[in-house]
Amino acid sequence: MTFVVRIDPPALQDIQEAIDWYELQKEGLGERFYNYLEKSLKQLELNPYFQIRYSGIRCLSLLTFPFMIHYTIDQTNSIVIVRAVLNTSMNPAKWKDRG
């Protein structure tokens, strides 16, 4: 079964902020971050059943970059819902405070 990946607006903002930050560090690094993120999202389309880390939230680490995709699964509709893309040094409760 293949899943559809949907990214919540706050997670899109997380992604854009990370891309912008990496691009400021070195030209092309933001694009490289995005490419790794895309590979991870494709992986979730095929198999989203990674470990539940907290409060029903599953997480998948990005290769090379210190970020985790925080997501839930709507099994009835075969949808992966990306709730946040956070630096691993951040408290995961940050996304809960978004409302």
Dmax (CA) of the chain: 42
Distance of CA 80 to CAs 4, 15, 29, 65, Å? 6, 16, 27, 21
* DSSP-assigned beta bridge partners for residue 9: none
Above 60 in pLDDT, residue 93?
Answer: yes
Whether the predicted model's global pTM rises above the 0.85 cut: yes
Determine the pLDDT at residue 54. 87
What's residue 94's pLDDT?
65
Three-state SS for 21-83 is HHHHHCCCHHHHHHHHHHHHHHHHHHCCCCCEEECCEEEEECCCCCEEEEEEEECCCCEEEEE
